[in-house]
């Protein structure tokens, strides 16, 4: 490549950089029906990309607190109410934009419990120098409930007889579920769908286990075999759902 062409390219690149304007984008990820996904749940992954070219512009993880409960969970606010505070979990990036750009945000989480996580994607136009950082900034709702099977342990073995099932169920923000609480255990349906040797066998309801977010139950295997257990938590008010899986071999 000639020196002349290199010089022209250098001029063009310099001109493009000169026209680019730093543009800050702040992303908050809220769990459906709950608070924000932050450090206590290892955050949610955030990827900013050019929606038209697919080029990744920035990526990272939300960090910070779950937010102000009263601001977030009150029913007495209008649609424009600001529910974030300076401490609320966020991911912030400054992009050098030289033209209006359609930006896509892809989020996934919570990262502390990837087996139960979900994804959400949305796009919006961003103009150079017109920051997306005030008010609620770019707020994305991530569906799901976080379910973590405690027993039986994965790939465990059990003698013939009752097999205990227990699971921890929290909101995606990590907030606890308790009877009569803000996130009411009496409302959620928690159960275990059980398959034997790959074929559906039965569903066993799990009841509140006396500790925040703990649900327990048991089943009596009909005969030896490999039992696959899918524990789900379901909110009938809005369909919000989370699952986790395990297996147990009964001798």
For 214-228, what is each residue's pLDDT tens digit?
999 999 997 899 999
The tens digit of pLDDT for each residue in 176-198 reads 999 999 999 999 999 999 999 99
Q: Look at residue 234 and tell me whether its pLDDT is greater than 70.
A: yes
pLDDT for position 15: 47
pLDDT of residue 121: 98
**Percentage of the chain surpassing pLDDT 70?**
92
pTM of the predicted model as reported, rounded to 2 decimal places: 0.88
Round to whole Å and give the CA distance between 58 and 185. 38
pLDDT at position 79: 73
SS3 37: coil
Report, as an integer, the average pLDDT of 137-148: 97
What's the pLDDT at 222?
78
Per-residue model confidence (pLDDT) at position 80 = 82
Q: What pLDDT shows up at residue 24? A: 98
For the chain, what is the mean pLDDT?
92
Instruction: Please tell me the distance from the alpha carbon of residue 226 to that of residue 197, in angstroms, as a whole number.
Output: 5
Least confident of 16-25, 86-95, 129-138: 16-25
**SS3 call for 189:** strand
Lowest mean pLDDT among 2-11, 195-204, 219-228: 2-11
pLDDT at 3 over 80: no
pLDDT score at 76: 65
pLDDT at 4: 58
The number of angstroms, rounded, from the C-alpha of 209 to the middle of its chain's C-alpha atoms is: 25
Token output for 155: 């790939």
**What is the rounded CA–CA span in Å between residue 101 and residue 206?**
49
pLDDT-based confidence at 78, cuts 50/70/90?
confident
Q: Closest Cα to residue 136, out of 27, 2, 24?
A: 27
pLDDT at 2 over 70: no
Strand bridging mode 163-171 / 91-97: unpaired
């Amino acid at each position: 490549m000639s020196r002349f062409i290199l010089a022209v390219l250098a001029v063009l690149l310099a001109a493009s950089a000169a026209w680019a304007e730093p543009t800050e984008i702040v992303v908050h990820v809220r769990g459906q029906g709950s608070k924000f996904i932050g450090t206590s749940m290892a955050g949610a992954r955030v990827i900013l990309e050019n929606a038209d070219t697919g080029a990744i512009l920035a990526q990272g993880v939300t960090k910070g607190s779950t937010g102000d409960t009263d601001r977030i969970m009150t029913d007495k606010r209008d649609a424009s109410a600001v529910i974030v505070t300076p401490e609320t979990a966020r991911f912030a990036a400054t992009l050098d934009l030289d033209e209006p750009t359609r930006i896509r945000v892809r989020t996934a989480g919570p990262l502390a419990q990837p087996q139960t996580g979900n994804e959400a994607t949305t796009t919006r136009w961003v103009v150079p120098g017109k920051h997306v950082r005030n008010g609620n900034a770019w707020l994305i709702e991530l569906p799901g409930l976080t379910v973590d099977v405690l027993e039986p342990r994965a790939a465990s073995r059990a003698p013939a007889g009752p097999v205990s099932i227990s699971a921890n169920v929290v909101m995606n923000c990590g907030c606890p579920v308790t009877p009569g609480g803000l996130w009411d255990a009496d409302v959620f349906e928690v159960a275990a769908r059980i398959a034997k040797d790959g074929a559906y066998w039965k569903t066993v309801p799990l009841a509140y286990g006396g500790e925040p977010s703990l649900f327990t139950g048991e089943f009596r295997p009909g005969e030896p075999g490999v039992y696959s257990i899918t524990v789900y938590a379901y909110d009938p008010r809005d369909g919000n759902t989370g699952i986790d899986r395990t297996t147990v071999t009964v001798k």
